[in-house]
Amino acid sequence: MTRDEQQIPAPPRIIDLMIPADRGAVSMSIDERYTRQMRLPQLGELGQGRLAAAKVAVIGAGGLGAPVLSYLAAAGVGRITVFDPDTVDATNLHRQVLFTASDVGRSKAVAAAEHLHSQNPEVSVTAVVDVVTPATALEQLAGHDLVLDGTDNFPTRYLASDACEILDLPLVWGSILAFSGQVSVFWGAGGRGVTYRDVHPVPPRPGEVPSCSEAGVLGMLCGVIGSSMAMEAVKVLAGMGDVLFGRLALYDALRARWDEIPIARDPRRVPVTEIEDVMLTCELPGPTGPATDEVAVADLPGLLAAGVRVIDIREPSELGDGLVHGAEHLPMGALLAGADESLEGAVLYCAAGSRSASAQRSLAERGIRVRSLRGGFAAVVGESGAAVEVVRPEG
């Protein structure tokens, strides 16, 4: 059989996803606010009208979501939905530049919507103070033209990719850690395109990849990657330029260098047709808002003396610096797999508090109430004057 007889499907053209020029847009004046960008012939008045007619969903208003939201609103993207269950914390302010000190303790989604309205009153911003879940993702994301995922947990990354593949929506994805960042544009294209699962077919094991709260991150890196994500979104919506579709851009801040690798669809991968809950199937920590019931390091001695179970849910490879004396070790995956009423009232801790908060949320859905140690083991090590002994694990 010749190549012509094989009926090889034509490669997907992401430019076909640009917003139709005749679609009705949010009532938005084309005034001097957009003059500088409209002077670009690749955008012009037609492209600006496409941005005004667009509706995008941004999952996460954190380190990447903050610059993404700021630049999309400033560019005149007509309708934006922002999903985030979290509240603003003082530790967010060095990188989540959309927020100010007066926002600490407030809902990120609500505060972001208010700031964006002040920045550009013509843009419609809907705040959703909740996580995108396997049960709700398709309904929550349907009706949008494009999705941007700037979250820092693997279940949501797989969830966003799968939902977008089912809904045939383009997904702009970004990731940061320490001094490195990645950006790409995914689109299932009816089984012809590339998605997150083609780049990362197998989720990492629990604890294998640290979060930014555990490994650290520079705020400026969020700006670089978040701005790049916003740029790719505008290019897709307006139908201009060479989009990062089929390419993964890698940024190394310490070397001040961008690298790029081509990515292609795995021909053996079956298109996604239903949502998988990666948090359950792979025992990975999922999305979480603030812990609903926390204890401080100073509370640990009294709790241990009272016989309360204190459980270290880190992986064995993370115990090199020790664990709290009197605590038991039970990795998060094993804890969730064997969860029963014996966990009721226990205190969980991980490296920095994010995984224990996630486990707390998961257990609460099963009717099991536990508490989370604020700041995790890092807070134990850094707390001066606290009568908490750290011991080396046996063996």
Residue 118, burial from CB neighbour count under 10 angstroms (0-12, 13-18, 19+): exposed
* Apex 29 CA angle, 36 and 32, nearest 5: 30
282 included as an active-site residue: no
- The b/e string for 311-349 (b: 16+ C-beta within 10 A; e otherwise) is bbbbbeebeeeebbebbebbbbbebbeebeeebeebbbb
- Selected catalytic residue, list 164, 212, 222, 282: 212
Q: Which residues pair with 247 in a beta bridge?
A: 262
Of 19, 289, 251, 261, the C-alpha closest to 129 is 289
Tell me which residues are annotated as active site: 212, 350
